[in-house]
Structure formats: structure tokens, C-alpha cells
Amino acid sequence: MNRFCEHDRVKYYCKECKGNGICEHDRLKYRCMECKGKGICEHDKFKNRCIECKGSSICVHDRIKYRCMECKIMLSGKLTGKRKREEV
């Protein structure tokens, strides 16, 4: 089975080959707002980043996880706490 096209891409996602993963707007179908792809939620956002959908990238503080200062502090607090315990 040849999954790669002449453009050295996975054919399914190749824009030039119009793979099945590409929509009529030349975007990844599941991320296309206009096609309402699987990655787009009812709020017209990327599902995993949608606060209302509680996407996987959203933390308990309703922020994007990797940008959330509170999460960073929480995480670093946990890490130092663990390290201290290990030292004792």
C-alpha cells in the first residue's frame, strides 16, 4: 500500500493530490472552519482549545494549558515538593 504521493507527503493530507483529508478550501478537513471539520467545535473554535468545550488543551483555570501561569506554578510546586521529599 503506497500511502505517500509523488510530493513525498502522506497522500491523504496532500493538497496537491487533493487527498481525502483535504477539503475544497485546501485545508486539512478536520481543521477547516468552513467545513466544520471534526476538530472544530460548535463554537467555531479548535475543539481542543475551546474553553466552552473544555478541550484537552484547556486547564482547570479556563486557559490554554501551556500558557497558564497558575498551572506552571502548580506544576513547579509539585516538582520541587517531590524533589524535597526524595532528598530527605
Binding site for Zn ion (CB under 5 A): 5, 7, 14, 16-17, 23, 25, 32, 34-35, 41, 43, 50, 52-53, 59, 61, 68, 70-71
d(CA 45, CA 51): 9
Closest contact distance (angstroms) between CB of 48 and Zn ion is 10
Of 52 and 81, CB closest to Zn ion: 52
Q: State the amino acid at position 20 in one-letter form.
A: N
> SS3 for 16?
coil
Of 6 and 87, CB closest to Zn ion: 6
d(CA 13, CA 30): 11
Closest contact distance (angstroms) between CB of 59 and Zn ion is 3
Of 52 and 80, CB closest to Zn ion: 52
d(CA 80, CA 65): 20
